[in-house]
């Protein structure tokens, strides 16, 4: 049982490049989400999904796309990277009602130059 996995661990992009951050979980959780962590700002919700085929925007969705074709995977796409997207990105998953804990992946550190 690997929990929540994220790839890559580190990534450097040039402004305007695109990339996909991968997230997978093996706990059969319905709910998955993406957060970004910036100094002094805690974690902010980017996008979330309450099940396969269902996604919605969080607090800071601009510049990011998501899709959820399977229960296990929830990739985050940056269409045209900007320096303001330099951050640490965390994926999380949670079980159904009554399961309150969110499980976080180890994070992806992204630098956009």
Partner 1 sequence: GDSVTQMEGPVTLSEEAFLTINCTYTATGYPSLFWYVQYPGEGLQLLLKATKADDKGSNKGFEATYRKETTSFHLEKGSVQVSDSAVYFCALSPFFSNDYKLSFGAGTTVTVRA
**Footprint of partner 1 on this chain (CB under 8 A)?**
4, 31, 33, 35, 40-45, 48, 50, 58, 90, 92, 94, 97, 99-102, 104-107
Instruction: Kindly compute the dihedral angle of the four CA atoms of residues 11, 4, 101, 50, in this order, to the nearest 10 degrees.
Output: 90
Structure tokens at 9: 């661990």
CB 89 within 8 A of CB 107: yes
Q: Which is nearer to partner 1, 14 or 101 (CB)?
A: 101
Query: Shortest gap between Cβ of 105 and partner 1 (angstroms)?
Result: 5
């Amino acid at each position: 049982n690997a929990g929540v996995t994220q790839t890559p661990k580190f990534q450097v992009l040039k402004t305007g490049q695109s990339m996909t951050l991968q997230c997978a979980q093996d706990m059969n959780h319905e709910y998955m989400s993406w957060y970004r962590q910036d100094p002094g700002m805690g974690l902010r919700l980017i996008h979330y999904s309450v099940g396969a085929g269902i996604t919605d925007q969080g607090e800071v969705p601009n510049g990011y796309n998501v899709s959820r074709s399977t229960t296990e995977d929830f990739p985050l796409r940056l269409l045209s990277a900007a320096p303001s997207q330099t951050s640490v990105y965390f994926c999380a998953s949670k079980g159904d009602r009554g399961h309150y804990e969110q499980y976080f992946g180890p994070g992806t550190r992204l630098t956009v130059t």
